[in-house]
Amino acid sequence: MLIKRFEDVDVWKEARKLVNMIYDLTDKGLFKNDFGLKEQIQKAAVSSMSNVAEGFDSDTKQQFIQMLSYTKRSSSEVQSELYVALDRKYITEKDFNNTYNQAKLVRKLANGFIRYLRTDKQVNRHTG
């Protein structure tokens, strides 16, 4: 499949799911009143998605790879902050596991796309 826009990138699609999962979690219960953690985890999740979009329009593959590495880091940040939410009993173990695994999937897909960009000699521009 030819990737013509950032919305076609699998890691962006999965990061979008992560963002919605985080917003759903932070809009209820005690979580919605912890403004610091709520804002931080939302920003990290949105960053994981936005970095893919921003990287897509980079001038070089190396710049795109850098933005994908930021996506990975933001996903790890989400995972770390989920532990705080779990420890504070803002979320259930089930919510923690589902969201943690979604962040893990985002990291995995970002890693895979980075490997692809590093090894594909034919692609000078990731959009073909």
DSSP notation for 61-101? HHHHHHHHHHHHHHHHHHHHHHHHHHHTTSS-HHHHHHHHH
Domain ranges of the chain: 7-119
pLDDT at 127: 45
Report whether 65 contacts 119 (CB < 8 A): no
Q: DSSP letters along 102-127, please?
A: HHHHHHHHHHHHHHHHHH-SS-SSTT
Report whether 74 contacts 102 (CB < 8 A): no
Q: How confident is the model at residue 36 (pLDDT cuts 50, 70, 90)?
A: very high
Report whether 88 contacts 34 (CB < 8 A): yes
Residue 2 DSSP symbol = -
Architecture of domain 7-119: Up-down Bundle (1.20)
pLDDT at 76: 98
Q: Which residue has the tokens 């902050």?
A: 81
Q: What is the pLDDT of residues 55-97, one digit of tens each?
A: 999 989 999 999 999 999 999 999 999 999 999 999 999 999 9
pLDDT at 122: 59
Task: Give the count of alpha carbons within 13 A of 122, CB side only.
Answer: 2
Report whether 18 contacts 52 (CB < 8 A): no
Question: What is the C-alpha end-to-end distance of the chain, expressed in Å?
Answer: 10
